[in-house]
């Protein structure tokens, strides 16, 4: 598989803190790649740089062969690189379907159209409904977003991310705040998206990581110390010592 996303030698300092220390990572087209590490390892900073929310002090980021390290967030989204789950970004007083329709309007450049008229457009409604079906929310289309359960709101945010036309989703702790049943539902949904979508997953839930990931990279002190398939990472004594708290 060819690399869809390539980060090379990213350095980011916040005062005297070196948050990214020659951070390098490849994400292959079509794979689910998990980035794990202990608290304070620099995962949030790494994802922020890939998404465009944090500008690296040095290094290169290429997406689909294009250098994007200096591009703003919205330019990256238009190229197909979308971050999800860092905050809940739904519109609570809109229905589930209308939330997805809003993203489709923004994507098409029609965000300033009167939404009352847009609501009646069959093609737009059908496209939004298809996004909801991909995440298992087809039966909740007419429910107000604020009335959805927390796990359903996370699935709605996933549908909204898909509606941007994403080729690669940066999933920032999708299981955060979810109970066991909701986590299992999210895992099943993400498994259903495998193959047709590339994903970079940052997650503390190791059960979800090992269920979803094709490859796992381990971040410690702002630098990737190991990368490989889940079985190899689970068995790596250096990883177990640095991250899982076991003796090497």
Domains (ranges, CATH) in the chain?
1-80+167-248 (3.40.50.300), 92-165 (no CATH)
pLDDT at 112: 52
- Phi first, then psi: what are they for 175, rounded to 5°? -90, 0
The pLDDT value given to residue 237: 86
Report yes or no: 12 and 57 within 8 Å, Cβ to Cβ: yes
Contact 134, 100 (CB under 8 A): no
Name 126's Cβ contacts closer than 8 Å, sequence gap at least 6: none
Give ∠ CA 36-229-195 in degrees, rounded to 5.
90
Instruction: Read off the DSSP letter of residue 215.
Output: E
User: Which residues, listed in sequence order, are joined to residue 12 by a DSSP beta bridge?
Assistant: 20
CA neighbor of 80 nearest in space, from 107, 49, 55, 53: 107
Give the full edge-to-edge strand order of the sheet including 223-228. Answer: 81-84, 168-172, 198-202, 32-36, 215-220, 223-228
Q: What is the DSSP pairing of strand 58-63 with strand 3-14? A: antiparallel
pLDDT, position 247 = 45
pLDDT at 115: 57
- pLDDT tens track of the chain, all 248 residues? 589 999 999 999 999 999 999 999 999 999 999 999 988 899 999 999 999 999 999 999 999 999 999 999 999 999 999 998 755 578 999 999 999 998 888 887 765 555 555 666 788 899 999 999 999 999 999 999 999 999 999 999 999 999 999 999 999 999 988 999 999 999 999 999 988 899 999 998 888 999 999 999 999 999 999 999 999 998 888 887 766 555 43
Query: How far is residue 28's CA from residue 40's CA, in Å, rounded to a whole number?
Result: 26
Q: What is the pTM of this model?
A: 0.89
């Amino acid at each position: 598989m060819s690399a869809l996303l390539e980060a090379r030698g990213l350095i980011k300092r916040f005062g005297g803190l070196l948050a990214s220390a020659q951070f390098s990572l490849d994400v292959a087209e079509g794979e689910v790649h998990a980035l794990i590490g202990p608290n304070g390892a620099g995962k949030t900073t790494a994802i922020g740089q890939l998404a465009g929310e944090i500008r690296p002090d040095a290094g290169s980021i290429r997406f689909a062969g294009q250098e994007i390290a200096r591009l703003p967030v919205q330019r990256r989204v238009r190229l197909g690189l979308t971050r999800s789950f860092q905050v809940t970004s739904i519109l609570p007083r809109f229905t589930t379907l209308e939330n997805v329709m809003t993203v489709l309007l923004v994507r098409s450049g029609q965000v300033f159209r009167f939404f009352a008229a847009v609501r009646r457009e069959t093609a737009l409604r059908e496209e939004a409904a298809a996004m909801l079906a991909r995440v298992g929310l087809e039966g909740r289309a007419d429910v107000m977003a604020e009335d959805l359960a927390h796990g359903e709101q996370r699935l709605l945010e996933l549908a909204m991310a898909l509606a941007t036309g994403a080729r690669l989703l940066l999933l920032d702790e999708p299981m955060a705040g979810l109970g066991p049943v909701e986590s299992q539902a999210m895992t099943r949904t993400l498994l259903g998206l495998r193959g047709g979508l590339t994903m970079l997953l940052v997650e503390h839930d190791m059960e979800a990581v090992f269920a979803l990931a094709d490859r796992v990279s381990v971040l410690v002190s702002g630098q990737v110390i190991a990368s490989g398939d889940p079985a190899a990472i689970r068995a790596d004594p250096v990883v177990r010592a640095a991250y899982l708290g076991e003796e090497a």
